[in-house]
Structure 1
C-alpha cells in the first residue's frame, strides 16, 4: 500500500468552506478512484490554514497515472483548487513500521 500525503495551504478565513469542499470532493471523487483504499484529512492546530490530506492507494500508479491522468483529477481540483493559497506539496510513502 502507498500513502499519499498532500500538504495543503489555503487562504485565511476560508476554513469552513474548504472543509466542506474537501470532505465532499474526497468522498465523491477520490474515494471512487481505482486503487483508493481510503482517505483522511487533518487540520493544523498551530497553522489553521494548513491541512494534511492522506490517501491510501494500492499502487503508486493508481494515483500518479490512473487518478492524475483521469477526468476525475480535473473534477477534484475544480472542487478544492479555488481555496489553495499555493500549490499543494504531494509526496508518497511506504510503510516501515506500525503498532
Structure 2
C-alpha cells in the first residue's frame, strides 16, 4: 500500500465551491484501478488549507494509471484552478516494526 499525501491551499473565498467540486471529483479517483481509499481534511487553524490522503495499491497505480489517464484530465479541470500555489504531492510507505 502507498499513501499519497498533498497539502492543498485553496484560493481565498473559494472553499465552499472547492469542497463541492471535490465531492464530484471523488467519483473519478475512486473508480481508478488500484485505488483503495481517500480523505480530505480541512485545517482548523488555517482557512483554505486542506490535506488530501489517498491510498493506492502501488505507486504506479497513481503515477501512471491515474496521472496518465483521461480521467485525470477531468480531475484537473474540476479541481486544479482552485489551488494557489499548486500542491506538491508526495508518496509514503508504512514503516514496519518487529
Question: TM-score range with shorter-chain normalisation?
Answer: over 0.9
1:16 to 2:19 alignment: no
CA RMSD of aligned residues (A): 1.3
Question: Hey, what does 2:80 align to over in structure 1?
Answer: 81
Question: Hey, what does 1:42 align to over in structure 2?
Answer: 41
Question: Hey, what does 2:52 align to over in structure 1?
Answer: 53
1:95 to 2:87 alignment: no
Q: How many residue pairs end up in the alignment? A: 97
Instruction: Report deviation, 1:48.
Output: 1.5
- 2-structure distance, mates of 1:24, 1:5: 20
- 2-structure distance, mates of 1:68, 1:88: 14
- 1-structure distance, mates of 2:48, 2:74: 22
Cα offsets for 1:33-60 (capped at 9, x unmatched): 1000010000111112111111100000
- 1-structure distance, mates of 2:70, 2:28: 10
TM-score by length of 2: 0.93
- 2-structure distance, mates of 1:7, 1:23: 17
Q: Is there any run of 5+ residues in structure 1 with no aligned partner, and where?
A: none
TM-score by length of 1: 0.92
- The 1:71–1:45 alpha-carbon spacing in structure 2 relative to 1, beyond 3 Å, is same
